[in-house]
Each structure stands twice: as C-alpha cells, then as structure tokens.
Structure 1
C-alpha cells in the first residue's frame, strides 16, 4: 500500500492482472446502462470493454498527436447526464504519453466524480497518483512474473453487495438460505490465491522502492530522449504520438515507410536478436487515430479480418526501455533499424502467415545472428 500511496481506509485486492482488476471494479460499482462512464480513445482495451459492457460510455477524443488536454476532459465531464466515473489511463502503453493525471483527477473531484486510473503502464516508471479513488496495475509490467495484479480502492466500496467472485475464502458462514461474506479484501479474493505471484509482486515493489523514483525517472528520461531523437533521424521512420513538449515514458511507437510493421519486427528479431512489439497493442481506437486512418480504411481492414486475412491489418512497432536497458542497447537498436529502413533485402527470407499477419523467417535464421547482434536483445521490453 505504501507503493501506491494509500492509507488505512483503502484495500488492495489481489487479481490476476489489470484486465481482471478493472472488470472486477466495473462489476462492484453496480453500474447500469443509465450510468455514464467517461473514458478516452487512448485507453487499452482493458479500460474500454469492461465499462462498455455495463454502462454507457462517453469518450474523450485525442488529437492527431495522440493526446488530449485537461480542458478536453472537463468538457466530457460537464456534459449531461453527469458521469458516475472517470476511467482514465495513467500512461499510454502505445505511445508512452503520460497525461497530466493529477490535474485530471482534481478536475473530476471538483465535479464530485470518482476516478479510476489504469496504472498498468505507469506503475513501474512513475509514482502512483495519490488522489485517485481506484488504481489497478499488473506485476508483469513491474518486472514480476505474469499472473498477479492489484485493484486498490476505498474499503467502503467493497463492504456491501456481492463480490465479483463467489466461493471459498470469501465467506464467514454459508448455509442454503444465507451467505455471510467476510470483510474486504478477503471478501473479494475467493478461491486459492496466486501466492507465488503475490510474493513476487511484493519483491518487485520493494526493489523499485530500493532504487528510488529519482534514479528510475532520470535513467528512463535519458533513454527516452535518446530513443525518440534517434528514431526521428532515421529516414523513412515516423514516430507516432506526442512530441517533445509532452511527458512520455521510455517507449515509442513508429512505422517504417513501405514496410509492414510485422516485417520490421520479424527482421529485428531474426537478423539482429532484438525483441519489439508490433501490431495495435490492444488499443485499436488509439492506433487508428494516430495512424490517421479513414473510416473507409477501417471498414476495409474489418472486412479483411472477418474473411480471415490479417496480412494488411494496420499497426506499428513499439520499442521500449526499462531499468536494465543501457544507452548502448538503444544505439544498437537504432543502428539495426537504420539498416532495415533502407528497405533492402536482408540475409533472411520471410513468409507472411495469412491468418496472423506475422512474418516467419525461412530456414535457420540463427545462422545469420552475429556475436554482436546477439547482444542487442536487451533493448526492448513489453
């Protein structure tokens, strides 16, 4: 709880991941279709779909640079009917943009509206917002294993009503006519818990605290500037999302002119031993906007997907850095991408899969890895 800057009146509920945490909260708030939840087009699907399933969503649009302002948030909050909740990201998992979250929370609270922050991308890189009503984040984004996440909120929000999961460990008494639920957080954690995941998450939190936010932020800011400046200098590469005037994490989404995003990622992997993420990053509405796709484009891609052909599905490549990334890692990544961006045939041939859209190297791609290239894998983390 210290890591999240929370007090005795809050509880931390162990979940599998941020997706489950947000679904958990959407259920526990007992929303109806008459209730309005304000969220944004920047969100990960995990902070869009749960709210759309139980309530009426009102969306904050973003500009061509993939950002929105506090004024944009206020305009959405001030529409009628009054929202029950603002569900907003603490940092974009696509572009790395960090919204002015403290000012956004303040604006919502001035209007008597609670705020749920999806802190999955924020948690390992910046301190948690201290005034958010609800927080959710995942261990795997914080250098812990997969399978453990946390939902944090006021204890009173979970003291009444049926829990999200019903079963053993969440009850004081069960008979055929009555169930007496236990107090939160145990009330919300039915079933055998992921003890190993919880312990590992705790160790990760302790390690981040040991290193300290000043050191983490300084290290990642240097890498972010190096990464973004380097990408912008490569001919044919377009960096998506906010410019230097906006705060960002050490992550950047980009495209390479004339080359499918899946092929860029495949070549970085097979020829240079560098791992990156490609695609839409579970944020389709955001990607379509920062890529500048038209409704006709989207309709065509939707038709292709329905037919089982994902070869031309739009997307981008994302490179991201973390605690273990060095300036040398970034340099090696930029050097590799410079070669790829020339759009010349490489030493490996590839075949694109119709249904996944991914490119697979033909033959033994490991034969093409050099000793120096094999050291480059540390550049990118999901």
Structure 2
C-alpha cells in the first residue's frame, strides 16, 4: 500500500501570478531564488491536496496546508479503506450475522496493527479512545500515586493529572524544564529521587516547537526511581518510528487525526495491570461481562466487569476510526520512516533558512541543545499579533497556519509570548512550493510594514 508520488502536486495556473500580485514587494526576487533550489515533491497523496480557497484580490488559489500539527489531512489510502469498509459495516462483538463478524474481525485486527506499529509488548492492552486527550484521561483514571510532568506539556498531558484521583488526593508534581535537555533530565532525576512517584508523563515532541525529547533516556530515569512512563506521542508517531519495547515506554498515547486518519479516534497502548484493576472508564454495555439487579434487600446492580481493552470501551466503539488508524499505521510503514525523515528534514531546513532571513521573525525554541525536530516551527513576527499574521497568510496567500497559545499556555508564557505565536507545521503532503509560498508571504508582509 505505497503512496509515494513521483511528481509534486501542481498549483492552479493562476496561483503563482496571483500570489505575487498580493503579498507585496520583493516577492518576484524571492520566487526566482526559490525556483533555483531543488523542488521537493509531496511524499504521499492526501485528500484535499488540490483544494482551492478564496484569495483577497483575485481568483482562488491552491490551499497551502501548513497546519498538520492540529489535524493532518487524511491519506488517500486511509480514506479508501474507510470508504471500502462502509458497505460491510455493522455492530461488533456480539452479533452472529456475517457482517457483524466481518466488522468485529476488522476492529480487532486494527488493534493488532496498532500493537505492531507501536512495537508494544505482546501482553500490552490496546484501548481505542476518542483521541490523545481521552487516552490520557483514561490513564489518569487508572493511575494511583504521584505523577511528575514538565511545564512544557500540552494541556492534554497536564490538566488530567491536576485533577484529584479517586481517593481525592492531588498527585501532580510539575517540574520546570531547563534551558537544555541535559539539565532538564537532571531536574527530573532529582524530582523523582526526592519522593516516590507512580508515573512520569512526558511529551515526545513539543507541539509548539517540534523539538523531540530523548524518550529512551527519560524512561530510564523514571524506571531507576520505580516510576513508569507515559509518553504523549501525538506529535511524534507520524514522523518517527517508535518502539515501546526498545524505548522502555510503559504507556503510549496518540490520536488518529494527527496520523493522517482524521476519523475521530485515538489509542492508549500499555501495561494491563493498572488498567485491569481500575474501575471501568465508562459504565455500560461491552464493559460488563455479567449484570444482575439487586433483590428487595439490595440496591443497585451486581456487575462483573471485563478485563482487557473491553473494560474501558463501553458502548459502541468508533469502528471506522479504529480501522482508519490501522490503515494509517500500515501506510506509514509502507512509505518508511527513513523516507519520511528525509522529506521532513529537507523541508525543515528550507523553512528554517527562510525564517532566519527575515529580521522581524523570531523562531521559538525550548532547549538550546535540541538537535531533532519534527515538522513544526513556532515563530513570532515582531509588532504583529499572531492572529493578524495568520489572517494575512490566509486571505492574501491561501496559507493555513495555526495561531494562539496551542493549548500550552505555561510554555508560551515562559518563552516570552504570553499572547501566543504563529505555528507552521507540515508532513507527507507538503512540497517545497508550500514552504516557499509561506516565506514569500512573510517577506511581503514584513517589507510592507517598513515601506
């Protein structure tokens, strides 16, 4: 199921000329310079690649989607698999009918595909959820004891731990990340050594800057002090190969919609013991193995709950979402993470070089010693509100980026941008023309301010 393309997607015939006319002086020179550089084609076919959007002063232009970190477009193969599954879609697990049996097999097969993709242990649970946020809330529901987190986390990996556990105890301990990864590892080691903790919960890659953390080393720190580690891999799994066994990961969470499977599902993969003794995340059908109503001398119901993934998957599951995640895992494996890494490294270098050439633009970084990033770049344009920059890029150049605080308010504050910043992010469907268009539009915007 390969999706490698041999040529870049082409913009509409009016695209280049229109963009030149509306982003301001200096664009032609920048465009000519970009044309002399090597063109980078999309690495895979994504749904909506040729979508055109309105422009401020001319015909529609091809949409340059640079907002992959929020929600990546669906891979064409994933959309095809979902579409092909609809004709045989039925309820799962308790139906004797042929289509119910077919759908059940597909749903459970999706669980095994995810297990292999994550290189999980054979006895790990793979629980399908609504997304990363839901998966972390499930993990928080099942965790007893203190939880250590960094202050750079997305709110999804911060707020669930801040809530009291089922005993009513507050258990989160927030460690401030240092200026370097090395010093941050030392700070985490000291915190875990100071008092026992059940879990270290960390991001694998920052959703603000794209910087990748050394997950294997973080796992070793946690395990040295008797803690387990949960890794929020929402921003990593589409970009880098992960091995729960090799990296020493106890729990891994991620979302389909950042994995080119935007069909409303996510996963929690991890050790079964905590999950099997936790009360069901949702009470209802599917999670219950046996139910009896109390007698006149009793109240409520006597329930025997399942163990395993079913314990926390009450109700009718998002079967198509699970199938989509599995299809995306297989598609990424077919493309190969070496190819994905090379593609993104070339685009990242092109973007970084372009942003570095703009005097009014400042790139965001958390760590001075970070050497690896996924396809995410947070930046600020001096003197302009992030929303104003994003609106300009959209209306004038047909570019979609993110602006704001990216559900990471504490991090933006400590980086000196309490009002937010702008974020460009990209992936398999991105080509060099998209990056060049962003740099050209920012060049025109900054020059227009000084003209």
Q: In the TM superposition, what is the alpha-carbon distance from 1:129 to its structure 2 partner?
A: 4.3
Match of 2:415 in 1: 290
Worse-matched range after superposition: 123-132 or 212-221? 123-132
Determine whether 1:194 maps to 2:311.
no
Determine whether 1:16 maps to 2:126.
no
Q: 1:64 to 1:287 in 2, by over 3 A?
A: farther
The one-character-per-residue Cα deviations of 1:220-261 (angstroms, maximum 9, x if unpaired) are 111112112211111200001145752111211000011111
Instruction: Give the whole-Å Cα distance in 2 for the aligned partners of 1:190 and 1:107.
Output: 35
Instruction: Give the whole-Å Cα distance in 1 for the aligned partners of 2:179 and 2:227.
Output: 28
Match of 1:335 in 2: 440
CA contact (8 A) 1:64 1:290 kept: no
Unaligned runs of 5+ in 1: 294-313, 347-382
Q: In the TM superposition, what is the alpha-carbon distance from 1:22 to its structure 2 partner?
A: 0.4
Match of 2:275 in 1: 158
Q: Secondary structure at the match of 1:175?
A: strand
* Total equivalences in the alignment: 321
Instruction: Give the whole-Å Cα distance in 1 for the aligned partners of 2:377 and 2:443.
Output: 16
Match of 2:162 in 1: 52
Match of 1:352 in 2: none
Instruction: Give the whole-Å Cα distance in 1 for the aligned partners of 2:124 and 2:117.
Output: 13
TM-score of the aligned structures, taking structure 2 as reference length? 0.68
Q: 1:157 to 1:92 in 2, by over 3 A?
A: same
TM-score of the aligned structures, taking structure 1 as reference length? 0.80
2:388 to 258, 263, 269: 263
2:355 to 231, 235, 259: 231
Worse-matched range after superposition: 169-178 or 250-259? 169-178
Determine whether 1:319 maps to 2:434.
no
Determine whether 1:112 maps to 2:236.
no
2:375 to 250, 254, 267: 250
Q: Secondary structure at the match of 1:220?
A: helix
Match of 2:187 in 1: 72
Instruction: Give the whole-Å Cα distance in 2 for the aligned partners of 1:260 and 1:63.
Output: 27
Unaligned runs of 5+ in 2: 1-114, 165-169, 294-300
Q: In the TM superposition, what is the alpha-carbon distance from 1:183 to its structure 2 partner?
A: 2.5
Match of 2:252 in 1: 135
The structure whose RCO (Cα within 8 Å, separation 6+) is larger is 2
Q: In the TM superposition, what is the alpha-carbon distance from 1:87 to its structure 2 partner?
A: 0.5
Match of 1:280 in 2: 405
Worse-matched range after superposition: 119-128 or 243-252? 243-252
Match of 1:365 in 2: none
Determine whether 1:212 maps to 2:336.
yes
Instruction: Give the whole-Å Cα distance in 2 for the aligned partners of 1:331 and 1:21.
Output: 37
Instruction: Give the whole-Å Cα distance in 2 for the aligned partners of 1:92 and 1:27.
Output: 24
Instruction: Give the whole-Å Cα distance in 2 for the aligned partners of 1:167 and 1:111.
Output: 37
Q: In the TM superposition, what is the alpha-carbon distance from 1:345 to its structure 2 partner?
A: 9.6
> Which structure has the larger Rg over C-alpha atoms?
2
Match of 2:65 in 1: none
Q: 1:284 to 1:68 in 2, by over 3 A?
A: farther
